């Protein structure tokens, strides 16, 4: 895979500045995909595959980032410590296959554990009309909410590109979204995935199975003493292709590239 360092001109007009080989991380995982990184201070993009960076797919659980904001802004929940009561049944078709998550849970814990049923229940309360309003105002995704089920971020026609993911995260970082500073502050606290050696990673994983494919994401941003790096890594494989490291590869690929950029140690 040929990897390119890209300098920012606009979100949809990108110019090659130089060549950098990031292929080893994908080779080690034996899986196709792309990584898109935006260095906030220098305004440079690092993109492994420009076509893939613009291609839209389901966001899977990375949608929990904006989903949490919408739930807060609409008053569906008061804060991240709001408890969602377990609905009392386990439908693995809708809610997955991890029995440890089927219990009363705070929204913060549901975000951290990626307990999909919690956010599905919140989505039922919010309704697609309100979702569409906030998605339009946030310039998030393709706005196609035709999927009949509440879980439209995991199944159906709704989709987002890696570049759009990063554009949204930059506006989260800058507090430039149609959400209160309080609610964006709550999101930033909940998003903290790792703190170590002078840097903080705020991020969310995602994994869905749709039309015979596994689609895996890790999106977020890293802050250290002097820099901010935004990232969106997406890997896709056929479900018939067995790769037990698929889940781990989302983070392994990302961290490998971030280390090369001295974003993390």
Active site residues: 61
Please name every residue paired with 151 in a beta bridge, in sequence order, or none if there are none: none
How far, in Å, are 64, 142, 145 from residue 114 at the CA level? Answer: 8, 23, 21
Tokens 């009309």 belong to which residue? 129
Q: Can you give the chain as a three-state secondary structure string? A: CCCEEEEEEECCEEEEEEECCCHHHHHHHCCCEEEEEEECCCCEEEECCHHHHHCCECCHHHHHHHHHHHHHHCCCCCCCCCEECCCCCCCHHHHCCCHHHCCCEEHHHHHHHCCHHHHHHHHHHHCHHHHHHHHHHHCCCCCCCCCCCCCCCCCCCCCECHHHHHHHHHHHHCCCCCCCHHHHHHHHHHCEEEEECCEEEEEEEEEEEECCEEEEEEEEEEECCCCEEEEEEEEEEECCCCCCCHHHHHHHHHHHHHHHCCCCC
| Vertex 66 angle, CA 231 and 257, to 5° | 10
């Amino acid at each position: 895979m040929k990897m390119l360092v890209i300098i920012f001109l606009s979100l949809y007009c990108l110019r090659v500045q130089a060549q950098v080989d990031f292929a080893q991380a994908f080779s080690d995982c034996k899986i196709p995909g792309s990584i898109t990184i935006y260095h906030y201070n220098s305004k440079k993009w690092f993109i492994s595959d420009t076509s893939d960076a613009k291609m839209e797919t389901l966001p899977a659980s990375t949608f929990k980032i904006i989903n949490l904001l919408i739930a807060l802004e609409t008053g569906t929940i008061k804060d991240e410590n709001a408890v969602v009561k377990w609905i009392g049944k386990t439908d693995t078709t809708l809610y997955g296959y991890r029995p440890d998550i089927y219990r009363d849970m705070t929204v913060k814990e549901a975000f951290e554990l990626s307990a999909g049923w919690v956010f599905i229940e919140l989505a039922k309360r919010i309704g697609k009309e309100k979702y569409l309003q906030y998605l339009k105002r946030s310039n998030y995704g393709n706005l196609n909410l035709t999927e009949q089920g509440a879980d439209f971020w995991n199944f159906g026609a709704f989709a987002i590109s890696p570049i759009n993911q990063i554009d949204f995260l930059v506006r989260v970082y800058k507090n430039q979204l149609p959400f209160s500073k309080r609610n964006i502050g709550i999101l930033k606290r909940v998003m903290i995935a790792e703190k170590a050696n002078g840097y903080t990673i705020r991020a969310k994983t995602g994994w869905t199975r749709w039309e015979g494919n596994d689609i895996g994401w890790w999106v977020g941003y890293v802050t250290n003493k002097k820099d901010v790096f935004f990232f969106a890594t997406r890997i896709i494989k056929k479900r018939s292709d067995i790769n037990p490291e698929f889940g781990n590869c989302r983070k392994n690929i990302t961290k490998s590239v971030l280390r090369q950029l001295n974003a993390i140690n």
